[in-house]
Structures are given as structure tokens and as C-alpha cells.
Chains A and B, each alone.
Chain A
């Protein structure tokens, strides 16, 4: 077993081989996506149409945005089950200030703040209170939904300004605005995870929490930051959805957190901790979106769609385990 080589000698190895080895997880996920795209373009003439593809990407943008926050939670061996409810809460709050009586920025900031506060509470309860994130965010899931219903009196908040509606339904250069937002969030999240101290600490906490403590990392502080970020992203999704629906719906976003978690997991995020990427989660969301879209185009029953979605999630994780 003497394939022992120091770092210097390593530089002479082929760059492509190295690249493939280092990024094997995401390359495998991408090939699944490409495979599906090829298959569907053969099976349906509508699939590759620009309008359809843009639709798909726009549809998954909300889940992808939530998914990016959840990815960070899962990397730290936690989870966030409250995303869908926080989405609704932020949506109704933003909508109530987005009817034109205040500047749009106020509505947006208040909506985001609601998500940040919810996330902060999630993080604090689990990191400081020692309660498993599963339980803490489960509580928030129910409570936030209740708050959304209280705030909106159980009714949709309508009459949104045109500017607000543009966030969800507008186009810039022919591309829906939500896609731009998703890309921006993806770039920021990716930089956070891979190029900042925060990101390194997130991976470390997930890789081995005790070792992180011994290395001098303030684990509690960073866990709270992660959940706050996740809550903020859920809120952002809520604002975009409210804009799209032209109403703040207190019942919006039910089960979105599960789709977001599925995206992260299909994209290679591991519940064991320390493993996961933003590009992976985006691909995971795209795989689910393409699957959804393909089954609709092929006239497959929506019930069967649900079954297939479940199968894809499990198969993706099985394939991941075999690596």
C-alpha cells in the first residue's frame, strides 16, 4: 500500500483527472439531470421549448432558494422544518406593507426581518437550549403558520402594488425575475459556504461538532447564524410567492420545506454532516422540477407523479451511499 505521495509530487498528475475526482459527487448528480433532459426531449416535443424551460426554472426557484438555506442546516447535522410556514408568515407581513402605502423596500425588509427573527429563534432554541433542530423547527413550523393566520385574520391580503407584483411576475430581458433572484442568492450562498470563514466553520461544525469546539470555534454563534440565514431565505421565497400570487396567502407554502430538503438531499447533502454544496442543491431542485414538468407533459397522473417523486428521492440517496 505504498501509493504515498507528498503534496508536491501531486502537482504532476493530470488536471482533468483531479478535477473529476474532487467533484465526483456533483458530476454524478449533473449527469442524472442531463440524462433526464435528453430522455424527456426525446419523449416530448414541448420539453425543450424556451418557454417551457424557463417555466421549469421559475417554478423551482422558490424551492431552490429555501433549499440553499436548508442545505446549510443539514451540513451542520441539523434540519429546518419551518421553511414553508415562515414563507407564509413573511408573505403576509410583506403583503400588508406592499399595497403601495409604503415604499416597496419597507415591505421587503419587514418580510425578510420576520424570517430572520424566526430563524434566529430556531437557532437559539436548538443551539442554546440543547433541543434537537428537528424539534425546534417543528415547533416553529406550527407556530409560524398560526402567526400567519392570526396576522392576516385567516384571509389573503390582496391589492399589492405593481412594483411588488413585479418581483414575482415580472420579466427582465425575457427572463422571469425570480430566476435572477435565485441566481443571486445562489452566488452569495456559494461564496459564503466555500470562500468565507463562516462557511468553513459550518462544514467543521457538521464534520465534528466536538472537534469544532476544541478548535476554538464558537459553535453556538455559528449555528444561530445558519438558522437565521435559512429563515431569511424562506422569507425571501415567501415575498416572491406573494408577489406571484398577487396576494399574501397565510396558507401558502405547505410542504415546501420537504421539497427543499429533497432538493438538498438529491443534490448530495448528507445528513451525517459536513457534506453538501449549493450547486448540488440547485441541480437537485432542477432534477425535481424537470421530473415534475416531464410527467405533466407526458400526461402522467398527478398521483403517480407523487409516487415517482418519492422514488427519485430515495434512489438519489441510495446512489449517493454507494459512492
Chain B
């Protein structure tokens, strides 16, 4: 007898010290169904999945999988039962190869021995990657892969378990349009095989493209589970946030002034002949696919990596930026792509994270004036609506959106005139995303020049005054806000120059 549901979670409650993460949550997933799980940061989505997969134990509630009641104590139990997961935080073993990572924990050995059969693993990995149309050599070391390719490998790994249920937590956070298409092909293929997917994402447009059903959580409670066809963006956001969100991209048109930064003839092994300029009060969006070289160009501009040739002009004067120290002196701020990797000082407090780039201005007679630090931090917290229990809160404990705001505050404190924001709303929920967009508009209106690298086409289209598109290290086109469309950008991003 075929069960109506592959997975039934009923009455799940989970408390952590001081906070109730989940309160009596129900979730039922049908077999061969793509089931989206949405909610703001802190709504309880990851917690619910971690309970399912055996990382946490629920305080109360029941889980029924494939007709049997289960209670996974270890992740291995869940894997063996047929549930695998792609985690939001990518954590590959950097010095091991793609094949070794995919087979981590289930290494293939020669018959009746402990000796690992590398060749067989590489062969099977190649087969898997080809099947999924992922173009990577299985012998590549994980640390040599970009964030985007790392995520593709994680996806492949979760699928290699031959599970009946695959949980995907923000699977597209680090990849761009073309790879997202590939992922959706994979998901549909899995659905065809009768596999169910639980898809957690903040990107609502993706959810509506792929999901059959949607479960909404808010503040640890179940709001509702609906058929994707019976709802829309606005209703979904309202359910997630509990209030009406006016506009997702509140870009207000302001005055755009003179060219304030120009890079000419940037060349390196990764990018070629790149020329980009940005004006005062302008938001310049840089679009492109994985491997386009956008981040690399900005890292070179910022003095983080060397290049073969290319000049930088600030306010029409040629400048030499050999290190981030120079860039900071020229009042350029850089919000990096991966805030946990190269932005935040995770074990340090909010105030330390906020003032670090501007520390010189708080020094009197060799010592730091903690009062001035406190004043500036409080000012930033007000200005950016940063939610934190206090200045000495460790930033690791803040939500993604607030962490991002702390980083923006850092650059505002040096009075940065030029802000480079690399994927500024990655891994951030809808409410916080809108706040950051509002903030970007405000800063642009105040005369700052903003360079925004983004892999989300709606964000590029909604926020940019002008859009530069890159493909395989070259600038393939430039569009104004008025003339830009999704199709035009995609054409340029895939190298089809008209």
C-alpha cells in the first residue's frame, strides 16, 4: 500500500537555552514532490531539518519516514534510511579531491581489504558529474574550486547517496543562472525517479519555478502549508513576515554625478581588457555567470591580488593601490562575497567588528577612547537598524542580515565614497534584504558610488542604475536601467554579444 506521505513530522518542539526554536510544528512531504520550506532567518527552518537528519534531538514530536516511525540519533542513521542533505554552510575538506569528498564516509575499497580504491571512486565520480552535467575533473582539490563549483560538488554529493529524500538548504546561494538551470534539471530528474526534495531558499522566484508545495514557518511556528499554484509572491512574503512588505527593490532615483572611479585595461590570467567606471550617486550592477571574473576584478582593484596590467583613476587622478591599506586610504570599502570567510571577525564583538577599519580615529595619546568607539557604534546601529542585544555581542550570534549590516557600518565609518558590495544580500531573508536595498539606495542618494556584484537577476534589474555584464573575464556589454531586460543580460552573460 502506497503511503500518502513520504515524510510526516508532527508536533515537533525544540528548545535551546533561553529560546524556543520550534513550537509544535507539523510538516508532511509527499513522495516525488518538491516541497519548499520558507521563512525569515530565525524562523526555524534549519533547526527543523537538523532534527530530521539527526543532528539535533527534538524535545517532543514524532517523525514518520517511509511508513516507519523514526528517531535518528546520528546523521549516518538518516543517510542509511534514505535522507541526505545539502548544507547551507559549505564545508568541504579542502586538501582532498572532489572524488574523495563525494565519497567521504562511504569510501570504496578493494574487495575484502582496507585499501581505498581511488580509481574506482574517480570513475564513479566522473559518471555522477557527467550525469548531472557538472564540468569538473574529479581529481581537482576542493580548495582550488570557486565557491560556486564547491556548491555544485556538494549537490552532487547529496545526490550520490541514492536517497528518497534530499534536503537542500539554500542550494543556489553561491551559483549563478546557468548552474541554477542545471540544478533545476537535476531536481526534476530526481522527482521523476520518485525522490522528494525539501527546498529551503530565500529566493522566492526560484520557489515558484520549482516547488509543488510550500510550508511557511515564522518565529518557530507553522504558519501554513499551501499548494504553490494557489499563492503568489506577495501573499507568501506576508505570511513569512507577518506584515505587508511594500517593495522589494525600493530603488529611488537620485542625482548621478561625475565619474568618481575608473578602471582601465585591467588584465590578468583571469580577466582581460576590463574597463569599468562608476559615478557619484550611482549603483552600478555587475552581472555574469560563474567564472565570469567579477569578484576577481574587484579584488584586484582593491589591492588584494596582483594583476598584469591596468590603471585605476579616482576623481580623474591616477592612483596606485597595492594593498587594501591603500584602498582604505582612498576611501574605498569592500564587502566581500563570503562574509564569514573574509569579512567578519567571528569570535569578536559587534563594536570591534564595526570600528576596526577606522581604529586610528579613536586614538588619543596612544590609547583607544572606548567612549568614542561606543558613540560611533551606537550611531551606526541606529542608522542601519542593526539588531543586537548589545555592543559586546559576539557577531557570530547575529543573523546574516545583521552581520551584513555590521560590515556595511564598518565601511561607512571610514567615510567610504566608493563601496564595492559583492553579493550583498546572499543568504539573507526577505525582510533584511529589503532593508539592505533601502540602505543602498539611501547611500547612493547621499552621493556614494556603489558597485554591486550580484548573481540574482531581479536584484540586478531592480537596483542598478547601470549594468555591466561580464563573461569569462571580459566585459561583454553595458546596459542602462531603462534598456535592461533579463534576456539581454543573460545573452551577454553567456557570451552572445549581439
Contact = CB atoms under 8 A, between A and B. Distances in A.
Contacts, number: 114
B424 interface: no
Interface string B203-238: 000000000000000011000000000000000000
B410 interface: yes
A7 B391 contact: yes
Q: What interface size band does chain B fall in?
A: 35 or more
Contacts of A196: 363, 366-368
A101 interface: no
Given A3-B18, A207-B347, A218 B392 contact: no
A217 B326 CA distance: 10
A274 B359 contact: no
A1 B220 CA distance: 7
Contacts of B323: 213, 216, 218
A127 interface: no
Interface string A1-27: 111111110100000001000100000
Q: What interface size band does chain A fall in?
A: 35 or more
B285 to A, nearest CB: 22
Nearest to A270: B347
A210 interface: yes
Nearest to B389: A5
Interface in B407-464: 410
Given A5-B389, A7-B391, A204-B348, 10 more contacts: A1-B42, A10-B389, A18-B390, A204-B356, A207-B352, A208-B345, A211-B344, A212-B345, A215-B328, A274-B347
Nearest to B391: A7
Contacts of B42: 1
B493 interface: no
11 contacts: A1-B21, A6-B386, A7-B377, A18-B390, A196-B368, A197-B363, A200-B359, A203-B352, A204-B352, A208-B345, A212-B345
Given A6-B381, A196-B368, A215 B347 contact: no
A213 B359 CA distance: 14
Interface of A: 1-8, 10, 18, 22, 191, 195-197, 200-201, 203-204, 206-208, 210-218, 270, 272-275
Nearest to A10: B390
Contacts of B20: 1
Contacts of B367: 191, 195-196
Contacts of A214: 302, 304, 324, 334, 336, 342-343
Nearest to A195: B367
B346 A200 contact: no
A215 B328 CA distance: 8
A165 B147 CA distance: 61
